[in-house]
Amino acid sequence: QKEVEQNSGPLSVPEGAIASLNCTYSDRVSQSFFWYRQYSGKSPELIMSIYSNGDKEDGRFTAQLNKASQYVSLLIRDSQPSDSATYLCAVTRNTGFQKLVFGTGTRLLVSP
């Protein structure tokens, strides 16, 4: 079982729709959870961080965390073609420095 699992996609949504990206993790004591966006050929860019159960909203983005189910999601409202990218879910391990463990990413395609 992979430590962080994501559906590779692509997830295709029309412009203006809500895109829902999901991630599960195996280490029950994971503490911090991050969503990064990576455009093709570029490095990851931090979108959201979430540390406690519930929802966290930032503009068009909402991160949801459920530690009991070991599940974290990212909702993108009013999706735009510029949101088309690969979204990486990352969690920190329970020991050492903030070593991120990444999922393989979900490719999102927003069509005009």
Partner 1 sequence: GAVVSQHPSWVICKSGTSVKIECRSLDFQATTMFWYRQFPKQSLMLMATSNEGSKATYEQGVEKDKFLINHASLTLSTLTVTSAHPEDSSFYICSAVEPAGALETQYFGPGTRLLVL
The CB-of-14 to partner 1 minimum distance in angstroms stands at 25
Q: Are 90 and 103 in contact (CB under 8 A)?
A: yes
Specify the residue, 95 or 112, whose C-beta has the smaller distance to partner 1.
95
Specify the residue, 17 or 56, whose C-beta has the smaller distance to partner 1.
56
Let me know if 93 is exposed, middle or buried by CB neighbors in 10 A (0-12, 13-18, 19+). middle
The CB-of-35 to partner 1 minimum distance in angstroms stands at 12
Specify the residue, 5 or 17, whose C-beta has the smaller distance to partner 1.
5
Specify the residue, 64 or 105, whose C-beta has the smaller distance to partner 1.
105
Q: Residues in the site for partner 1, rule: CB under 8 A? A: 32, 34, 36, 42-46, 49, 51, 88, 96-105
Region for residue 70 given its phi and psi (left: phi exceeds 0; alpha: psi -120 to 50; beta: otherwise): left
The CB-of-109 to partner 1 minimum distance in angstroms stands at 15
The CB-of-58 to partner 1 minimum distance in angstroms stands at 12
DSSP conformation letters of 56-107:
EEETTEEEEEETTTTEEEEEESS--GGG-EEEEEEEE-SSSS--EEE---EE
